[in-house]
Amino acid sequence: MAGSEEIVPRRAPWLTRGLGLALVLGFFAMAFTPLPNRLHRAFVAPEHLGHAEAIVVLGAGANLDYLTERSLRRAVHGIRLYHRQLAPVVVLHGPWPGWGAAEAAARAELARDLGVPDDAIVLAGGRTTREEARESWARLSKDGRTRILLVTGSHHMWRARALFERQGFDVLPAPVNEVATTGLRPEQRLALARSLIQEGTARLVYRLAGVI
Amino acid sequence: MEAYFVLVLVALTSLGAGLLEARRQPRSFVSLRAAAARALEAAGLTIVFFLANVATGALLTMAARASKVTFISIYLSTDVTLIVLSLLQALVYQRWREGRLEAR
């Protein structure tokens, strides 16, 4: 067939086109409609504050010289609960040095600056939520402190609560919104959607793996 | 207005580009549908690459944790830059495949 073009049929573009269409429609639904805001309301566990024996603040990462926004939000919420006299002790989690920045130590410094006495601060490690549940249990159960106010992100609460209850704690959820939940700007809605998709996938994996 | 402002911007610049192209090549709107279909293919390939990247990241994370050599956070596999990199992978792959088909 010299001088003429051989027509080669393209293989099944419909699958990739269908996926592409789903992506575009999903993007518009998440960025330009209130869908993620509504999903958020259906996704989160309600706050249940009450008197407890400890406030446990889960880690959320730190860079070399400062706490991430999520880590800061959780720490401040835990400190506020302490000042409301809902528990006598605050457990501040964060990976130990060697596994990243000293998040727990940076949070402890913040807590002291905001008026929490040294003897009310407990530092604990843990790189995953499961490790944090074990670390908290090791530090609190020996003093009979098993009723806790658990401070973590509102989307993360379901998994964290399940792991801490499985460890033996009686958990009162004290969730923190870590992304704008009522935002109208597309960027805010996409951040909310990303958080929901991330945690939704994690829940599914936990269920399939039999972790919870 | 806050929710739709960027859509207005995109609509205006798209209209501008469309008018410019129509002046240069009056019948170019005929190929617009084919271009949109190819753009959807690129978007679909982006999903495929993104899911493959996340799955590979999850496997590497689990392997690293199981080996106890190092610890990798699972959240590294969901970094937002992965979406942009997956799009680049998809565009290169699409162009490569199309070039191969044209060369045959």
Please spell the DSSP secondary structure of B43-54, one letter per residue: HHHHHHHHHHHH
Distance from CA of B104 to the nearest CA of A (A): 7
DSSP calls for A32-83? HSSHHHHHHHHHSPPP-----SEEEE----B-SSSB-HHHHHHHHHHHHHHH
Q: What domains does chain A contain, in order, with CATH numbers? A: 13-43+180-209 (no CATH), 54-173 (3.40.50.620)
Burial of B70 (0-12, 13-18, 19+ CB in 10 A): exposed
pLDDT band at residue B98 under the 50/70/90 scheme: confident
> Splitting chain A (212 residues) into consecutive groups of 10 residues, what average pLDDT does each group show?
49 86 96 94 91 96 81 97 98 77 87 97 92 96 97 96 96 95 92 94 89 78
pLDDT reported for residue B7: 95
Q: What is the pLDDT of residue A3?
A: 45
B59 contact partners, CB below 8 Å, separation of at least 6:
none
Contacts within 8 Å (CB) and 24+ apart, A132-135: A132/A56, A132/A58, A132/A59, A132/A93, A132/A160, A133/A160, A133/A163, A133/A164, A133/A166, A133/A167, A133/A169, A134/A167, A135/A93
A144: amino acid identity, one letter? G
The answer on pLDDT for B104 being more than 80 is: no
Residue type at position A159: R
pLDDT given at position A9: 54
List residues of A whose CB lies inside 8 A of any B CB. Answer: 6, 8, 10, 13, 15-24, 32, 99, 127, 184-186, 189, 194, 198
> Could you tell me how many CB contacts below 8 A there are between chain A and chain B?
57
Instruction: Report which residue type is found at A3.
Output: G
**pLDDT value at residue A12:** 65
The predicted pLDDT at position A168 comes to 97
Per-residue pLDDT at A102: 83
Backbone angles phi, psi at A184, to 5 degrees: -105, -20
Q: Which residue matches tokens 């309301």?
A: A41
Q: Distance between CA A148 and CA A194 in Å, rounded?
A: 29
Flag if B104 and A6 touch (Cβ within 8 Å).
Answer: yes
A164 or B76: which leads in pLDDT: A164
For residue A146, give every residue at least 6 positions away whose Cβ sits within 8 Å of its Cβ, in sequence order, or none. Answer: A53, A140, A168, A169, A170
